[in-house]
Structure 1
Amino acid sequence: MNLQGIVAVSGKPGLWKALAQNKNGYVLESLDAQKTKLVANLSTAKLAALSEITIFGVDDDIKLTDVFEQMKNATSIPDAKADGKKLREFFFEVAPDHDEEKVYASDMKKIISWYQLLKDLPLFNEPDPTVAPAEAEEPTAVETPVAVEETAEKAPAEAPKPKTKKTTKKAE
């Protein structure tokens, strides 16, 4: 999923898309139906990129993008206004090793409401541009085997010689 440029702003509900940056801060647009514009001042507002957010885990922190991937595969997602017990049960499905003491019900509600905003957007189903696809790592062309005699007959390629600037000295 491509969450590049999607941020959460402290003190503001919902999610925002970074459109541009000026000398005072960032120009943001809300992801809800109203498409509200906002200039977030860097000195007063705290921005958190969704692609960088993690959730407290028992052993290691869990990336929010991994939780969203698990939520895609979940059978039913509770309402963000559901009680804490239902949210906790759901979170044990999508993030089984989250830390119960550090992940509060308010955090789970926020993550579920973010998921509800993002799931219908086309960027949610796009591949992440920062992660190289697995197919790119494997060679796609079929290499033909080269006989041993052919490689022995070929001379090793010489390294290109560096170009030097010719200078002429005048005879005095």
Structure 2
Amino acid sequence: MSIEKILAISGKPGLYALKLQTRTGFVAESLTDGKKVTVGLRSNVSLLSEISVYTYDGEVRLAEVFKAIAEKEDNGAAISHKEDNATLESYFREVLPEFDEDRVYASDIKKILNWYNMLQAKGLVNKDEEISTEEAEAPAEEEAKTEK
């Protein structure tokens, strides 16, 4: 999956592509309208490649969930994130049967489906693409080394 440089910025709608880093933060481009925004270091930002979904057996990376949705929908769009909670939970159970409903809320499922549909519209999600876990783990290892 090519979501290594896709960001979710707290307080800002939609998803953003990381363009470049600056001394005081970074510049990101909105996937919905293409506008560039400057984000400071104090902003709460999440890389999609670092997000996981709780299951009974542990955690599943978001990229794997996106791939499962793409397989179910044959690379098409998922159901709308605006459906009622029962519909969303039953759909998500088809995609990820072992998700932990005590720790994965309806709001999380809405976010995941909304993000999937945004990425799918841009061609960034594909059921045939390999999921690279090494690339996602490498930055975390580098950060751990620099903190020592």
TM bucket normalised to smaller: 0.7 to 0.9
Amino acid at match of 2:88: L
Task: State the alpha-carbon separation in 2 of the partners of residues 128 and 51 from structure 1.
Answer: 14
CA displacement at 1:8 relative to structure 2: 0.6
Offset of residue 15 of structure 1: 0.5
- Residue deviations 1:103-134 (CA, integer Å, cap 9, x gap): 111111111000110013233348469568xx
Q: Which residue of 1 aligns with 2:62?
A: 64
Q: Which residue of 2 aligns with 1:41?
A: 40
CA distance in 2, matches of 1:129, 1:78: 23
> How much is the aligned-residue C-alpha RMSD, in angstroms?
2.0
| CA deviation vs aligned residue, 1:43-66 (integer Å, no higher than 9, x gap) | 2x1111111110111121111111
Contact persistence 2:70–2:125 (CA under 8 A): no
Structure 2: which 5+ runs fail to align?
135-148
CA contact (8 A) 2:66 2:125 kept: no
1:85 Cα deviation from its structure 2 partner: 0.3
Q: Percent identity?
A: 36
Q: Which has the higher helix share?
A: 2
Greater relative CO, 1 or 2 (CA 8 Å, sep 6+)? 2
Which residue in the other structure is 1:24 paired with?
24
Whether contact under 8 Å (2:7, 2:48) holds in the other structure is yes
Which residue pairs with 1:4 in the alignment?
Answer: 4
Q: Mean Cα displacement is larger for which, 120-129 or 1-10?
A: 120-129
Corresponding position of 2:140: none
Q: TM-score, length-normalised on structure 1?
A: 0.69
- Between 70-79 and 99-108, report the one with greater CA deviation: 70-79
Gap runs ≥5 in structure 1? 133-172
